[in-house]
Amino acid sequence: METYQIISIIGVMIFIYFIFFRNKRSAQKEISNLNEIEYIGSSTMKFDDVAGNYEAKQSLLELVDFIQNPEKYNKFNVRMPKGILLYGEPGTGKTLMAKALAGEAGVPFYAVSGSDFVQVYAGLGAGRIRNLFKKAKKAGRSVIFIDEIDAIGKKRMAGNIKGSDEGDRTLNALLTEMSGFADDSGTVVVAATNRIDTLDNALLRPGRFDRQIEIMLPDKNARKDIIKLYLNKVNAEDVNIDELADLTVYFSGAMIENLINEAALSAIRQSSDKITEDHIKRAYLDVLAGVEKKDYDNGMQKTVTSYHEAGHAFISRYLLPENKIIRVSVIPTSKGAGGYTLSTPSSEEVMTKRKILNHLSVLMAGRVSEEIFFGNENITAGAQNDIEKATSLAVDYVSKYSMNDAAFINYQLLSDKLRIPLTSVENSVKKLTSEIYEEVYKLIESNKEKIEKIARLLMEKEVIYQDELDNLI
């Protein structure tokens, strides 16, 4: 098989990627020590190391005083939460905040990850939990951190008593230990999860993780603060923070930190003593779209990719004009794409039905363009990624958001509760996507010349930007 056939061509849509696929990316794991409880000692983190997350910081700040002076609270018969559950997207600083809590209070920090308890031998999980609490108790005041608590605290299914036996024992051990330590012990358990919906209710009851704090992706102000925090740590010059905050919509704190780190690395590679806007822009493209290849074949691949991306770019301008096209490229990247159309919304979007349909159209436009210009027999596998995203979005449209009909039903729930297969969703998704495909087909057909122009410009220049695109349209 020729390589160009298997290199996929994708249109990278930041919006689609982060809104609909971020759940699939697994959280960064800092703690993966399988056999031992990680004792971090005194954490040196402070709340100043956390940018954004203002409400959560406020809530945890109150606990610092409780950890340091538990008697004060006990005297007034005030019950402080024993457990705090931080939930939300990966990379938003949940671990960081637990460390900062320990750091501010000046107490030891014990950390485990729920995923370490999965598939351990019988009794081992429960034993490990008891061991963890024993150690913490011996230390006196402390912060115990349980990352990925969903791995031990999954909802117990009525019909599924077997299989989850060991998980139950671990969970029960945790619940027992949490009720076991005294209110004035000055120990606080912080747990984190990306999936609060899957947690067993027993975990959320009073006396357990009864304070639940959502940690959201940073909004623009928070992104500015995170950007400033990390730019201050490196030697940066003349970076437009406001613009960068716009470009990083839907980024987590971890992704912003990574972006600035990559920019610093590229500055070092170029023996530059300052990090400039250029380094950051380069890193931005590398992180989102992949590093562009230096040597590549300019043959048939480039022609098909040019028409494919021209389709994405045109429909994006046509149906989602409020989105900014950052770059359209037909240079293959290290992520296996033959090219990409990178676009970003100017700020967090309100997800209307119309918007979702338009996003679906943009995703289909690459394949449709190939089909129109090269014929149905000659379409390539380059739309693989687009198809994956479109399917996921269409399934959510039908089954989660109930936007397809007036039924107002979450089909996933319906099928779980009634134990019926989801064939009706499958049919609706097929109908929906083929209808949109038809519409996109008509749109591209009636704008063939414009798309042809974009494709030719892409073949000539390999990379084009929004203003060039708009000139042609």
> Is 96 a binder of ligand ADP (CB under 6 A)?
yes
Tokens of 228: 């400033």
Q: 94, 141, 154, 367: which one contacts ligand ADP (CB under 6 A)?
A: 94
Residue nearest ligand ADP (C-beta atom): 253
How far apart are alpha carbons 318 and 309 in whole angstroms?
Answer: 14
Runs of H (alpha helix) within 290-422: 300-319, 353-374, 384-395, 411-418
Q: What is the number of alpha carbons within 13 Å of residue 161 lying toward its C-beta?
A: 2
> Is 386 a binder of Zn ion (CB under 5 A)?
yes
User: Which residue, 343, 341, 337, is CA-closest to 324?
Assistant: 343
User: Nearer to Zn ion by C-beta: 102 or 469?
Assistant: 469
**Of these residues, 38, 177, 309, 370, which one is catalytic?**
309
Runs of H (alpha helix) within 69-219: 70-75, 94-105, 124-139, 165-180
> Is 92 a binder of ligand ADP (CB under 6 A)?
yes
Whether 323 and 346 have beta carbons less than 8 Å apart is answered as yes
How far apart are alpha carbons 415 and 102 in whole angstroms?
Answer: 44
Q: Which does 356 bind (CB under 5 to 8 A by kind): ligand ADP, Zn ion, none?
A: none
DSSP symbols for 2-67: -HHHHSB----BHHHHHHHHTTTSPPP-S---SSS-EEEEE----GGG--S-HHHHHHHHHHHHHH
> Is 248 a binder of ligand ADP (CB under 6 A)?
no
Q: How far is the CB of 226 from ligand ADP (least distance, A)?
A: 5
Sort residue 126 into left (φ over 0), alpha (ψ -120 to 50) or beta.
alpha
Q: How far is the CB of 25 from ligand ADP (least distance, A)?
A: 10
Q: How far is the CB of 185 from ligand ADP (least distance, A)?
A: 25
Q: How far is the CB of 39 from ligand ADP (least distance, A)?
A: 18
User: Nearer to Zn ion by C-beta: 177 or 386?
Assistant: 386
Binding part of the chain for ligand ADP, among 25-33, 200-208, 235-243, 333-341 by CB under 6 A, reads: 25-33
Binding part of the chain for ligand ADP, among 87-95, 169-177, 267-275, 296-304 by CB under 6 A, reads: 87-95
User: Nearer to Zn ion by C-beta: 11 or 345?
Assistant: 11
Q: For helices 448-461 and 353-374, what crossing angle results, to 10°?
A: 80
Residue nearest Zn ion (C-beta atom): 366
User: Which residue, 351, 350, 344, is CA-closest to 324?
Assistant: 344
Active-site residue 309, yes or no? yes
> Cα-atom radius of gyration of the chain, to the nearest Å?
26
Tokens of 155: 């909802």
> Is 339 a binder of ligand ADP (CB under 6 A)?
no
User: Nearer to Zn ion by C-beta: 11 or 218?
Assistant: 11
Buried residues in 131-142 as b, exposed as e (16+ CB within 10 A): ebbeebbeeebb
Q: Which does 366 bind (CB under 5 to 8 A by kind): ligand ADP, Zn ion, none?
A: Zn ion
Helix%, strand%, coil% for the chain, nearest 5: 55, 10, 35
Q: 257, 286, 309, 386: which one contacts ligand ADP (CB under 6 A)?
A: 257
Residue whose tokens read 């693989």? 384
> Is 95 a binder of ligand ADP (CB under 6 A)?
yes
The DSSP 8-state label assigned to residue 273 in this structure reads S
> Is 370 a binder of Zn ion (CB under 5 A)?
no
> Is 292 a binder of ligand ADP (CB under 6 A)?
no
> Is 11 a binder of Zn ion (CB under 5 A)?
yes
> Is 366 a binder of Zn ion (CB under 5 A)?
yes
In order of 85, 113, 131, 171, 438, the CA distances from 163 in angstroms are: 26, 21, 24, 14, 46
> Is 52 a binder of ligand ADP (CB under 6 A)?
yes
Residues between 204 and 233 that touch ligand ADP (CB under 6 A): 226, 229
Q: How far is the CB of 8 from Zn ion (least distance, A)?
A: 8
Active-site annotation, residues = 309
Q: Which residues bind Zn ion (CB under 5 A)?
A: 10-11, 366, 386
Q: Which residues bind ligand ADP (CB under 6 A)?
A: 27-28, 30, 50-53, 90-96, 192, 226, 229, 253-254, 257
